[in-house]
Structure 1
Amino acid sequence: MIDLATWNLTIPVGTPAKVIDTPRLVDGYSDPYFRSGDNLFFWAPVTGSSTSKSEFPRSELRETLSDGTLRNWTYPEADHRLKAVLKVNQVPSTGRIVIGQIHIYQDKGPLLKVEYQYDAATKKGNVIANYRLKPGSEDITVVIAKDIALGKPFSYEVRFSSAGYLNVSSQGYSWGKQISSSWKNKLLYFKAGVYALDNAGYKNEGGQVTFSQLDVAHTQP
């Protein structure tokens, strides 16, 4: 069973989108957008509501402490890791969903978005890293792994060292980059789930994923 004691959950309901706190998640919270147990199920329809800093719907976990307090960190304080095993069950018509992030506290423009991008012609998807070298800079896109079918389990891992080295790996492929030191004082946090990069269509269109493993660690170098 995946430990939910260090996460809260945003679901695409209400304006702005509703947040389910950590203690409630641990007690076994369930709704049409999220279910827990041996696996974690996430559903974000394109008709769902969004957060105040976004235009797209999400069913997504965000790092916290066990009492529900938001957990934010700076990269020099530890070596940071997010590891997941999941399968993508459905994508919106754009073919794009975000399945993991390093976000920046109270600001737009995450440092990293791990995306699954589906090609309807080939019926396969790629794992993509979209990262920002500096705060506020444009996204740089890197393909990490290719040819992953809907419904096929795959893994990804994000490592961000205390020295500012960012590494993303998936399915035996790995990419890394030294990130600008201008990030070093920014408060960051991990996110994971499904963030559908689409907000137009019918209520049965959206992003749906199932995680069988989700682990976060912050260890002293």
Structure 2
Amino acid sequence: MQKMETGYSIDGNGGAVEGQQLYLWTTKTTNVNQNWVQISHGSGYYSYKKEGTSLCWDGGTGGAKRQAVTLEVCDSSNYDQHWKKVKVTSGTEIYRFEKRNAPGFSIDGNGGAALRQSLYLWTSSSGNINQQWELTRTDDTSGGGSGGGSGGGDHNLDASKAPSGNFDLLDWYLSIPVDEGDGYATSIKEVELAASYEDSYFYTGSDGGMVFYTPVKGVTTSSGTKYVRTELREMLRRGNTSYSTSGKDNNWAFSSIPSSSQSAFGGIDGVLDATLAVNHVTTTSSNNEQVGRIVIGQIHAEGNEPIRLYYHKLPGNSNGAIYFAHETSKSDGGNETWYNLLGSMVSSNGDLNSTSNPSSGIALNEEFSYTITVNGDALTAKISQNGSQLASKTINMSGSGYDDSSNYMYFKAGIYLQDNSSNDSDYAKVTFYKLTNTHDNYNP
């Protein structure tokens, strides 16, 4: 973020020091101290987190001339860290940053420009060149209309459309936690979902993202499920109900099955690619195994799950950890092994290993991407942000029992809540900005 008509940008200095005042430094796009992750709070307000840290711009209490703008631990509920991007010149990426709870004051770079020149608040004025900042994206913006890299960028989504107007949803159905008359959750099938379906659990947000909302109190999908979900289930048949939900041609398999059996499936191997932000998790339970924990992506087999990808943020922490579980095939006993990606929250058997704040974790409302890839016996989960890989883990599924051609796979994405002990009024909310599913030998 470069101060207009200067060669100086907003710099957070080296490392991560709380209370440090932001200042100007010579512009250099490769300088990590000048790279800021944009975190959307909706309604046009954002926080800016220094890349690789858990510190955000903070304007202090209230607003006054020359009030310092400092780095403080990110807190999505703290309005001192919320900034409105006010476009100064149409057709450009030049903005003024106005404090949410003191709209009469904006970030000001003082007159001229010099190394270590401090940033502070000053009376808001779009005509004041000291408050004009040019934004330059340094992340990977590939991905087209479904949203590109993470970090709060423009995903070219239309907030006036239902989710199916921004995402291809014909090869998904949706589960919502509403009783459909038999005591279990309602399923919105592919054709209805793709025909501009929206409800209070699944809708388009103000930024065009696809929002999933899941309360603690709600009906489940089966008698054997103890948690509520608002979640998409992959359907390769794309609305052709002559194919059954559990049929091989509606699902896919790993290429580790015999080659002679592969043509019976709708696809072979696969990649699930998503960009999202977790907006809210449960906070009211004292059970750290459950509170703040959701599943945001899965591969589900006929009985068990080769992968469940978790986001888990405890109420006292500013960041959430990300980890996954790999479950062997039901015929192999359904044993689970757990792997940490960001943070070290769980042990290999799934027990809570740490409740400390994961410094490398992801804050609420902070965009990130995950990619789940299967290639034969190799299953890889990758987390990335701003075009940079944050974590990756590949496991060998040889011996997990999924090379059985009688089994089948499908992706799931959204919210599978893992908390039934918080208050009934508590909830989880996630916004997806990109969601794609691809397979070999898939010809819809």
Please say whether Structure 1 and Structure 2 have the same fold, judged by a TM-score greater than 0.5: yes
| Cα distance, 1:2 vs structure 2 | 1.4
> Is the 1:61–1:191 Cα contact (8 Å) retained in structure 2?
yes
- Measure the CA separation in 2 of the matches of 1:42 and 1:3: 16
- Measure the CA separation in 1 of the matches of 2:178 and 2:403: 34
Task: Give the structure-2-normalised TM-score.
Answer: 0.47
The one-letter code matched in structure 2 to 1:167 is T
Within-5 A mapping of 1:62-81: 62-64=233-235, 65-67=237-239, 69=241, 70=245, 71-76=250-255, 77=262, 78-81=268-271
Q: Deviations over 1:144-196 (max 9, x none)?
A: 124100010011000011x2110000021110011035112221110000011
| Cα distance, 1:31 vs structure 2 | 0.8
Corresponding residue of 2:215: 45
> Is the 1:23–1:67 Cα contact (8 Å) retained in structure 2?
yes
| Cα distance, 1:74 vs structure 2 | 1.4
Aligned with residue 272 of structure 2, among 75, 82, 99: 82
The one-letter code matched in structure 1 to 2:392 is S
| Cα distance, 1:79 vs structure 2 | 2.9
Aligned with residue 188 of structure 1, among 409, 421, 424: 409
The one-letter code matched in structure 2 to 1:89 is N
| Cα distance, 1:66 vs structure 2 | 1.1
- Measure the CA separation in 2 of the matches of 1:216 and 1:104: 16
Task: Give the structure-1-normalised TM-score.
Answer: 0.92
> Is the 2:220–2:228 Cα contact (8 Å) retained in structure 1?
yes
Instruction: State percent identity of aligned pairs.
Output: 32
Corresponding residue of 1:57: 228
Aligned with residue 382 of structure 2, among 169, 173, 177: 169
| Cα distance, 1:139 vs structure 2 | 2.0
Corresponding residue of 1:28: 196
> Is the 2:232–2:412 Cα contact (8 Å) retained in structure 1?
yes
- Measure the CA separation in 2 of the matches of 1:202 and 1:95: 12
| Cα distance, 1:36 vs structure 2 | 4.1
> Is the 1:8–1:68 Cα contact (8 Å) retained in structure 2?
no
Secondary structure of the residue that 2:191 maps to in structure 1?
helix
Matched, 1:141 2:338: yes
Corresponding residue of 2:439: 218
Aligned with residue 13 of structure 1, among 178, 200, 217: 178
| Cα distance, 1:68 vs structure 2 | 5.3
Q: Which moved more, 1:69-78 or 1:51-60?
A: 69-78
The one-letter code matched in structure 2 to 1:97 is I
RMSD: 1.7
Aligned with residue 114 of structure 1, among 309, 329, 333: 309
- Measure the CA separation in 2 of the matches of 1:50 and 1:133: 24
| Cα distance, 1:119 vs structure 2 | 2.6
Secondary structure of the residue that 2:419 maps to in structure 1?
coil
Secondary structure of the residue that 1:13 maps to in structure 2?
strand
Aligned with residue 282 of structure 2, among 92, 98, 105: 92
- Measure the CA separation in 2 of the matches of 1:180 and 1:48: 38
Q: Give unpaired runs (5+ residues) of structure 2.
A: 1-165, 256-261, 263-267, 284-290, 343-359
Secondary structure of the residue that 2:193 maps to in structure 1?
helix
Q: Deviations over 1:4-57 (max 9, x none)?
A: 110000001112111000011111111110014842110110001111131100
Higher strand share: 1
> Is the 1:92–1:196 Cα contact (8 Å) retained in structure 2?
no
User: Closer, same or farther in 2 for the Cα pair 1:40/1:9, shift >3 Å?
Assistant: same
| Cα distance, 1:123 vs structure 2 | 1.5
Secondary structure of the residue that 2:192 maps to in structure 1?
helix
Secondary structure of the residue that 1:23 maps to in structure 2?
helix
> Is the 1:10–1:61 Cα contact (8 Å) retained in structure 2?
yes
| Cα distance, 1:204 vs structure 2 | 3.0
Secondary structure of the residue that 2:361 maps to in structure 1?
strand
> Is the 1:166–1:179 Cα contact (8 Å) retained in structure 2?
yes
Q: Give unpaired runs (5+ residues) of structure 1.
A: none
> Is the 2:280–2:427 Cα contact (8 Å) retained in structure 1?
yes
Matched, 1:159 2:329: no
| Cα distance, 1:134 vs structure 2 | 4.3
